[in-house]
Amino acid sequence: MIYTKKSPALFIIGIIMLAIWFTADSGMLASYIEHLGGKKYKYLGELTSIPLYFGILSVAVGLWQWFGKHTEGHWDYYSSTVAGAMFILLIAMLVRWFVAPEVAVISTGMGKVGNTGSYIHKLLGLNYVVIGIVAGIVIVNVFKVPEWAQNGVRVSRLGLKTGVILLGTLYSAAELKNLGGLSIVMIGFFVLGSVGLVLWIGARMKIPNSMGGVLSAGMGVCGVSATVAAAPVVQAKSVEIAYTIGTILLWGVGCMFVFPIIGNLLGMSHVQFGAWAGTGILNSAQVAGAALAFQPDGIETLKVAEIFNITRVLVLPIIVLWLAVWYVKREEHATQVNVGKVIFEKFPVFVLGFILMFALSTTGMFAPANHYKGKFFGNTAESGFKESKLLKSDQIAILQQEMGKVQRADRKEAVQRLIDNGKVMSISDDDAIRGLVNAKVVSKEANGILKAAHKAVRHTAKKIKAFRKWITWLFAFGLVGLGMQITFSSMRQAGGQPAVIGGIVGFLKAILSLIVVMMLVAETI
Amino acid sequence: MNRSKHVLLPSHGTVGAQAAESVAIELCAEDAKIHHLVVVPDLWKGMMGDDWLNNGVTRDRYARYLETELGREVEEHCERVRSKAKEKGVHYSCEIVLGKPDECLIEACMETDYDLVVMGSPRPKGTPGLRSRMATKSLTQALSSPLLTVPYPDG
């Protein structure tokens, strides 16, 4: 079978991308960009680069697909995915650069909502991630994914997995240790709790063991992914699979919209929201969606949520094994389980990539070894300090005048060293000066000088900055593509006893994990 | 009443469709032909959902398992109707298609002329089962053959 379609679609996608680049680069879009926020519009840099590269690629591959000769083989299959992948990317571009900013403009124009102090789009988390997923859902359900794009839509999973692997570069060892510990406790408690609860309620309601097994995996571990992993092991009937997946998708999509709203209303921190979404949302795809919906312009929440997702997927083989043993004990005709095979087959290989990137990051390959979240201290020319940033004599005079107001010895000494050398001399001095700025002890003018001195010695690692950008795009790409795999017909299957049990367990999990997070999880890690 | 020489029995495995089986065979004349159109609803295409955490081996295993399950159910279904038809001396033929139930039925009727199409009733509200309708408004408007809808079985 030849998979590559002889279609002009990819070529047209390339032309659209190039048109976006040309109109942005030539200034033809200037008035529209002014309308979308002018100087506040953050995507001009992306608009004048990304569509050019991918546009050229799409036009070149598109011409070959359209007019070239295709033969069966691996190359044909890989080539057939390009059109769908570029289709998803184009949707993600349009949503991120135009649709989401337009929604923000309209929402801002409508004013703040009641006494919440927020605009509708902020309150509802209507940013490029959520709108992108909705766009995917609309495309598959209303227009259908075109045949030439179907193979490529599956590539979205690869985007998400690559995003998670690259995320490994952004954690410090302390962060990973603290988040890992927190996620093991939270996931351990809530996964085991909800698997056990589903099995218990299922036994009370006398549902078949196969249904209890598949539903408990889906409700307890990571939603659809767990259902896919557990269904063959507990020999679930087709209708039981349909009920379970329908229930989980319905819950997951609902939670993706509701969780960010609640998070915003409760003023949750990135860590708290990431931990809550990572525990309370049933389906792993919507965990990432909710995290990016809560914090679209940063990835701190995503970093927390993905650690929870990774913990879930690492727990998955164990739960599948448990359910397999549980099922075999209860069903006469059940097939015996090969423990080693289950663990080996279900092991998520991409997690090894994440660990590898984290390990490489700790060697200082992507940023100096002392970096924290990609930022590092450096007060020498080799480490990025610019001589032009040395304090000027008038600035030194202002600081000397203000010295009397500084009470704490460590801050006083740090400022003195700053005055003597014209630049911040150590990380501890930098911390003390930042503390002084936040305490607002000195005048506004002196505070400005201290802030500038702090900025002069804090640098962002270029590679980490690039990784952040790539991660944002990979997740946006992946989530639009996953949106194209959520069909209304599968969600409509939510019903029967699984919907009742799923509703109870899903609701309890969301509420209890929220309470635990608000009571026990600190605002920062 | 038993004059139908060529009957189409469309079905997608629901309880309502099963009720139509007996009626369809009952309505066939001796030596008549019954064509059993089994539609596997395309909702199954979306049953991998938005899974992205599993590896290829797990996904393939699931897809094969689901295909086997659906295949087994369809096979049981066809076998049941086949044996009922045999008892009555009716010639049985079977066709399995994947798609939207109503669209598949319309297409089948456009390809071949049938004396009668016999189908089941939609599931009453609150009754468990897959949500996939064959009896739609567009179907009744588009069918060229006479259509008999068998009432949903009691209890």
Q: Residue ranges per domain, chain B?
A: 4-150
Rg of the Cα trace of chain A? 26
Q: Kindly state whether A187 is in contact with chain B, defined as any CB-CB distance less than 8 angstroms.
A: no
Would you give the DSSP letter of residue A149?
Answer: G
Q: Provide the shortest C-alpha distance from residue B74 to chain A (in Å).
A: 11
- Cα(A64)–Cα(A78) distance, integer angstroms: 14
Higher pLDDT, A397 or A334: A397
Q: Kindly state whether A135 is in contact with chain B, defined as any CB-CB distance less than 8 angstroms.
A: no
Q: From start to end of B1-155, where are the E strands?
A: 4-11, 28-41, 91-99, 116-120, 147-150
The whole-chain average pLDDT of chain A stands at: 90
Lowest mean pLDDT among A309-323, A374-388, A408-422: A374-388
Q: From start to end of A345-457, where are the E strands?
A: 375-377
Q: pLDDT tens across A27-55, in order?
A: 999 999 999 988 889 999 999 999 999 99
pLDDT of A373 reads 67
Give A524's pLDDT tier (boundaries 50, 70, 90).
low
Three-class secondary structure of residue A377 per DSSP: strand
* Last residue within a domain, chosen from A59, A90, A115: A115
Chain B neighbors of A482, CB-CB under 8 A: 50, 52
* Last residue within a domain, chosen from A115, A143, A176: A115
- Bridge partners, residue A376, by sequence: A459
Chain A neighbors of B66, CB-CB under 8 A: 231, 238, 241
A226 lies in the same domain as A350: yes
Q: Kindly state whether A309 is in contact with chain B, defined as any CB-CB distance less than 8 angstroms.
A: yes
A105 lies in the same domain as A61: yes
A412 lies in the same domain as A298: no
pLDDT of A451 reads 93
- Bridge partners, residue B40, by sequence: B98
pLDDT of B2 reads 56
Give A425's pLDDT tier (boundaries 50, 70, 90).
very high
- Bridge partners, residue B117, by sequence: B8, B147
ipTM over 0.90? The verdict is no
- Cα(A492)–Cα(A500) distance, integer angstroms: 14
Q: Is A125 a member of any domain?
A: no
**In the predicted structure, residue A117 carries a pLDDT above the cut 90:** no
Q: What is the mean pLDDT of residues A242-254?
A: 91
Are A140 and A486 a contacting pair, CB within 8 Å?
A: yes
Give A296's pLDDT tier (boundaries 50, 70, 90).
confident
Q: Is A130 a member of any domain?
A: no
Query: Which residue segment(s) compose the domain that A197 sits in?
Result: 163-369+464-520
Q: Is A98 a member of any domain?
A: yes
Lowest mean pLDDT among A277-281, A340-344, A513-517: A340-344
pLDDT of B155 reads 57
pLDDT of A158 reads 93
Q: Which of A380, A362, A379 is nearest to A371 (CA)?
A: A362
Name the CATH superfamily, with its identifier, for domain B4-150. Answer: HUPs (3.40.50.620)
A340 lies in the same domain as A361: yes
- Cα(A353)–Cα(A493) distance, integer angstroms: 36
Q: Is A501 a member of any domain?
A: yes
What is the count of structural domains for chain A?
A: 3
Q: Kindly state whether B58 is in contact with chain A, defined as any CB-CB distance less than 8 angstroms.
A: yes
Q: Which two tokens stand for residue A212?
A: 């209890």
Q: Provide the shortest C-alpha distance from residue B111 to chain A (in Å).
A: 25
A434 lies in the same domain as A494: no
Would you give the DSSP letter of residue A142?
Answer: I
- Cα(B26)–Cα(B4) distance, integer angstroms: 10
Q: Which of A269, A173, A312 is nearest to A521 (CA)?
A: A269
- Cα(A57)–Cα(A67) distance, integer angstroms: 16
pLDDT of A246 reads 92
* Last residue within a domain, chosen from A79, A98, A115: A115
**In the predicted structure, residue A340 carries a pLDDT above the cut 90:** no
Query: How do the pLDDT tens digits run along chain B, 155 residues long?
Result: 557 889 999 987 777 888 888 888 888 887 889 999 999 998 898 898 889 889 889 999 999 999 999 999 999 989 999 998 998 889 999 999 999 888 898 999 989 989 999 998 888 877 777 887 777 777 888 888 889 988 888 75
Give A525's pLDDT tier (boundaries 50, 70, 90).
low
A456 lies in the same domain as A471: no
